A and B are shown apart, each in its own frame.
Chain A
Amino acid sequence: MYVYILRRLAVAIPTILLLVIFSFALMYSAPGGPFNSERPLPAQVMANIEAKYGLDRPVMVQMADYVWGVVTRFDFGPSFQYTDRTVNDVIAQGFPVTLTYGFWSAVVAVIVGVSLGIAAALRHNSWLDYLAVGVTIGAQALPNFVMAPILVLLFTLWLGWLPGGGWAGGIVVNACDPRDSLCWSAFGGAIRLDYVIMPVIALSTSYMASIARITRSSMLEVMNSNFIRTARAKGLPMRRVIWRHALKPTLLPVISYLGPAFVGMITGSVVVDIAFSTGGIGQFFVNSAFNRDYSVIMGITILVGMLTIGFNLLVDILYAWIDPKIRY
């Protein structure tokens, strides 16, 4: 097991290097630089800027320097666009936001999805089953960029229950009074829950649906397997059969789905950030891509890559821990 983890980690290093080099090459070949504007800059001004950011050095030197900074100091360099911030600052700013609503979305998706899936499976071929299947396919198909404006129209404009966007100060500062019932504090910060609700709904729905579908078919399979039949034949109560015997094997495919779901949620944060102006990592990424803020783009790409590796590893370990058949 440990050997396996070590081997996986060893693979991670060339992966990240590859990612760095690939994104760097992509950036380098792009037409239009971060300092282009409608008004072409005088050559001398441009030269000063390039000297400041070291863009006048040979490309190989730039890349080596960048990689060295990332590897030794975990330093992604200065942002070209936000002059008073480094890429690390930008990430420290946007990432907790994405993590917060991402975490809640994952929780909601798993809890609701698994419950719905199990309920549908236990009432196989009943109206509940058909309803669940229909709803989950619908939820999977409805794009979240359509859902987001509908949510805002509904909850903000018509009902007036929730704020239409923003992050109320973000999690890095104490944005709310801890005695406030809507205030949730963790990680040394606080966030008002009413700002989290719509992003979580928009982000979690399609994953909730996928998880429900996976759980349903997995549960059906498990319930038909011999060991469950035996358990039921022994006359064990249904509740006990499900909790003690069926749940664990049912969840296996759900767990292996969590890896891709995680990546999907990070990608989905792009839509959430744009639709709700939450200021998460997705918004930074898209804006930096459009503005050619190379260092921020690379920082975020590399970070997401690393997290993907880490998360996939975590999922595999979890899987091995639940499924005794797996040996590494």
Chain B
Amino acid sequence: MKMTTLLKASTAALLVTAGGAALAQDAMTGPNGEALAEEQVFVYRVLDEHSSVDPGIVEDVSGSEIVRDLFEGLYNDSKTGETLEPGVALSHTVSDDGLVYTFTLREDAMWSDGTPVTAGDFVFAWRRAASPELASPYAWYMELMALENVAEVIAGDMPLDALGVTAVDDRTLEVRLTEPLPYFPQMLTHATTFPVPQAVVEEHGDAWTRPGNIVSNGAYILEEHIPQERSVRVKNDMYWDAENTIVERVTALVINDENQALTRFLAGELDRTEVPAGQFPRLSEEYPEQTISFPRLCNYYYTFNLREDGPEAFKDVRVRQALALAVDRQVITENVLAGGQPEAYTFTPAATANFEVPEVEMASMTQEERNARAQELMAEAGYGPDNPLQFEMVYNTSDAHRSIAVAMSQMWAQTLGVEATLANQEWQTFLDARNSGDFELARGAWCGDYNEASTFLDLLDTGSGYNDAKYSNPEVDDLLQQAKTAEDPNPLYTRIEEIIAEDMPVIPIYFYAGNYMMDDQLIPSWPVENVQQNWYSKDLYFVAEGE
């Protein structure tokens, strides 16, 4: 019996090798039959060192990018980001009450050390992510998934095995929720839910994620990691879909200075880097084939402090309206940023799936009309040349934020005679000030956790922890509540936007766009449609020159 299995396995291995060789011969064609470049090595710039490559701990974007390559969860995002593709799970069933999910796992999923990936690995990983012992900052994600008993487990009041996830057998994973979440499967592409190799974690402890120790189940394995310098991952031959993985080697280089990164891109050392704010027009003229711009699921705004002890002036809706009107967004998007960012008059980006941008009055006015209206409102509110409005606007240190803040304060000064003082703070200080309400007007930005309007609008819910303005409107809260169970929530979202446009608790400025310098041979495979930019190196490839 044992013999046969072994034989089978080796035959399979032989077949795979043969298949690989065959592939290598007619070689060099991409998924759509493109001719491929000889060298499939991807080098990209990251701004800062990632926090961790431990799926249970990782919390930042650049870390998640690496973790998505090293590990594979139950599902993957498709190239567009709008649908799911099977990962370790092939399919799932949901109980009628929507509370119990049963996943069927694929048989050929392997860890890089050759052991199979089982349902038990997921159970271990999920319990670990929620455990007080690991103390992951992303334990809240487990709470967001509404797993059974998750709060008690995190608090240490219940043992880990009380968590609502069990391995029925090696290929079957059962998950129990406390409330039906229609978007639960979508949540499973997030790094926190990825499996973790129990034996390796237990053997090496915290150091299990170092190259040499780490064992992973994704399309790549970690070869080298020098903090603050580089992190290199290479193709994992044990990955079930290794034969369709084209890029052999992926290197993330930490380069703090975006202009240095740009120079190094131009010198051919990088395949991808960000375009510094304002340089897009020049670069797209000089290097039209290597500059790309696409919409992102993020907004950029300034939030008033509407707390009881906040500035008196901002309690007057006319002042808020006037300030919002007097910001010439076209100047900001076309001059300061100049990378195809859309102007924002609503809180939710237009790129959000199924979201219909409402007709807000401000959007249809010309800037002259807006300025005139703003001046009227300010006068009505009792501010004028002899009684100028004064306040402080806070932003976190960055060249682009500075330019925008400088421009805005001058727009207010030139049209309304408002005296806005600028104050930039370091990120951590800034977060602290914003959370504790120690500000008058503060910059804010939000990237959607998932592709639906509520990921943005939830920020304006009275009870939301991210509602830095402490804006509270019972009608908005009520509409948000209704949207959770509504058949079609989008009209409700549109209505909320209309209320926000009236109340103006925040000043929307623009919506992000991804502005990159990218190797023109890589651009065809880059998932530009994916507004959340959850990309996987295994889906990338470099086409041959001239293709």
Which residues of A are interface residues toward B (Cβ below 8 A)? 30-42, 44-45, 48-49, 51-52, 78, 81-85, 90, 93-94, 148-149, 152-153, 156-157, 160, 163-167, 169-170, 172-173, 273-279, 283-284, 287, 290-292
Judge whether B431 and A153 touch: CB under 8 Å: no
Min CB–CB distance A69 → chain B (angstroms): 17
Checking B49, B136, B137, B267 against A37 with a beta-carbon cut-off of 8 angstroms, the contacting residue is B137
B245-256: CB near A (< 8 Å → 1, else 0) gives: 000000001111
Which residues in A have their C-beta under 8 angstroms from that of B433? 31
B35-78: CB near A (< 8 Å → 1, else 0) gives: 00000000000001101111001010000000000000000000
A41 to B138, CA, bound (A): 8
Tell me whether B206 is interfacial, beta carbon within 8 Å: yes
B interface, how many residues as a size bin? 35 or more
A169 to B251, CA, bound (A): 12
Which residues in B have their C-beta under 8 angstroms from that of A41? 137, 140
Which residues in A have their C-beta under 8 angstroms from that of B57? 83
Judge whether A152 and B263 touch: CB under 8 Å: yes
**Minimal Cβ-Cβ distance residue in A for B259:** A149
From A81, A153, A279, residue with most partner B Cβ within 10 Å: A279
Min CB–CB distance A288 → chain B (angstroms): 10
Min CB–CB distance A154 → chain B (angstroms): 10
A166 to B53, CA, bound (A): 21
Judge whether B132 and A51 touch: CB under 8 Å: yes
A38 to B154, CA, bound (A): 21
Which residues in B have their C-beta under 8 angstroms from that of A279? 226-230, 254
Judge whether B260 and A170 touch: CB under 8 Å: no
Checking B49, B52, B256, B260 against A152 with a beta-carbon cut-off of 8 angstroms, the contacting residue is B260
Min CB–CB distance A296 → chain B (angstroms): 10
**Minimal Cβ-Cβ distance residue in A for B431:** A36
Tell me whether B155 is interfacial, beta carbon within 8 Å: yes
Sample (14) of A-B pairs whose CB atoms are under 8 Å apart: A32-B431, A42-B154, A52-B132, A52-B134, A82-B49, A82-B52, A84-B53, A152-B260, A156-B269, A166-B229, A276-B260, A277-B253, A277-B254, A284-B227
A298 to B465, CA, bound (A): 32
Label chain A's interface by main secondary structure: loop
Of the candidate stretches B329-337, B422-430, B490-498, the one touching chain A is: B422-430
User: A-B pairs with the 6 shortest C-beta distances?
Assistant: A279-B229, A32-B428, A32-B432, A52-B135, A164-B264, A48-B135
A283 to B446, CA, bound (A): 28
**Minimal Cβ-Cβ distance residue in B for A81:** B51
Which residues in A have their C-beta under 8 angstroms from that of B137? 35, 37, 41, 45, 49
Checking B139, B208, B428, B446 against A291 with a beta-carbon cut-off of 8 angstroms, the contacting residue is B428
Min CB–CB distance A31 → chain B (angstroms): 5
Checking A81, A84, A277, A291 against B209 with a beta-carbon cut-off of 8 angstroms, the contacting residue is A84
CB within 8 Å for A164 and B140 given contacts A32-B429, A36-B431, A81-B51: no
Min CB–CB distance B306 → chain A (angstroms): 18
Which residues in B have their C-beta under 8 angstroms from that of A45? 135-137, 139-140, 154
Judge whether B465 and A274 touch: CB under 8 Å: no
Judge whether B256 and A33 touch: CB under 8 Å: no
Judge whether B465 and A83 touch: CB under 8 Å: no
Judge whether A274 and B256 touch: CB under 8 Å: yes
Judge whether B427 and A156 touch: CB under 8 Å: no
Tell me whether B143 is interfacial, beta carbon within 8 Å: yes
Judge whether B226 and A275 touch: CB under 8 Å: no
Tell me whether B316 is interfacial, beta carbon within 8 Å: no
CB within 8 Å for A84 and B229 given contacts A32-B428, A48-B139: no
**Minimal Cβ-Cβ distance residue in B for A145:** B257
A126 to B322, CA, bound (A): 68
Judge whether A149 and B263 touch: CB under 8 Å: yes
Checking B54, B260, B427 against A275 with a beta-carbon cut-off of 8 angstroms, the contacting residue is B260
